């Protein structure tokens, strides 16, 4: 896969693993972060230090890319309107977003973030993620995809195996909802290589 991909939030746990996966597949990657000092230099990776929430500073860095991936925090990171505007102004045809699990349904019409047991510490981030998705769903021009991980989303093993769902939280045979960041990176790269979820959210898990 020979594509030129920009990643917002390159120094984060998800962003760095997505970059590794894309580089292994032959892509060139532009990694963007407020502080790139924590990013590991790799062949095919260009680092750009900028605050992604600053539209005028971001647009020039995105020009010439085949897709941009937003992997910043929802609370305090780039918002959906800015991400959409940046992609459009830069002429980037695709926006892919590292989503959250909080907006996934655990019952018809009931999101995980709205359940009593949802951890209070993650609620602000989860609600911001849901608002980001709602803004994307109103966007009819840009080709966007929002990829929600399962509930437990942490560094782990790269197995190469994952299941795909739509808007409902996935769980394994033991009732656990999880995906490693390494396998999530595979799913992100697969979606870039063979687009299957244009203007849609999907989720992945074991």
pLDDT over threshold 90, residue 69: yes
Residue 46 backbone phi and psi in degrees, to 5 = -110, 130
Distance CA 12, CA 35 (A): 11
pLDDT tier at 16, thresholds 50, 70, 90 = very high
pLDDT at position 176 = 96
pLDDT tier at 74, thresholds 50, 70, 90 = very high
Helix (H, G, I), strand (E, B) or coil at 103: coil
CA angle 25, 30, 35 (to 5 degrees): 130
CA–chain centroid gap for 177, Å, is 18
Which whole number is the average pLDDT over 99-115? 96
Distance CA 149, CA 120 (A): 19
Residue 145 backbone phi and psi in degrees, to 5 = -145, 130
Distance CA 184, CA 140 (A): 26
Note the pTM of the prediction, 2 decimals. Answer: 0.97
CB 159 within 8 A of CB 185: no
pLDDT tier at 1, thresholds 50, 70, 90 = confident
């Amino acid at each position: 896969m020979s594509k030129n991909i920009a990643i917002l939030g390159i120094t984060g746990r998800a962003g760095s693993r997505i970059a590794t996966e894309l580089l292994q597949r032959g892509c060139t990657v532009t990694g963007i972060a407020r502080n790139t000092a924590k990013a590991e230099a790799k062949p095919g990776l260009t680092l750009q230090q900028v605050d992604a929430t600053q539209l005028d500073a971001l647009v020039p860095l995105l020009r010439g890319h085949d897709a941009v991936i937003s992997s910043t925090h929802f609370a305090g990171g780039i918002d959906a309107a800015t991400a959409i505007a940046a992609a459009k102004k830069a002429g980037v045809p695709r926006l892919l977003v590292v989503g959250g699990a909080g907006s996934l349904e655990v019952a018809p019409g009931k999101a995980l973030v709205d359940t009593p047991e949802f951890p209070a510490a993650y609620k602000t981030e989860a609600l911001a993620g849901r608002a980001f998705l709602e803004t994307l769903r109103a966007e009819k021009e840009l080709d966007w995809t929002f990829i929600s991980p399962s509930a437990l989303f942490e560094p782990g093993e790269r197995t190469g195996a994952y299941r795909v769902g739509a808007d409902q939280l996935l769980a394994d045979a033991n009732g656990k909802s999880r995906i490693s960041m390494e396998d999530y990176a595979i799913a992100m790269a697969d979606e870039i290589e063979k687009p299957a979820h244009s203007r849609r959210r999907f989720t992945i898990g074991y």
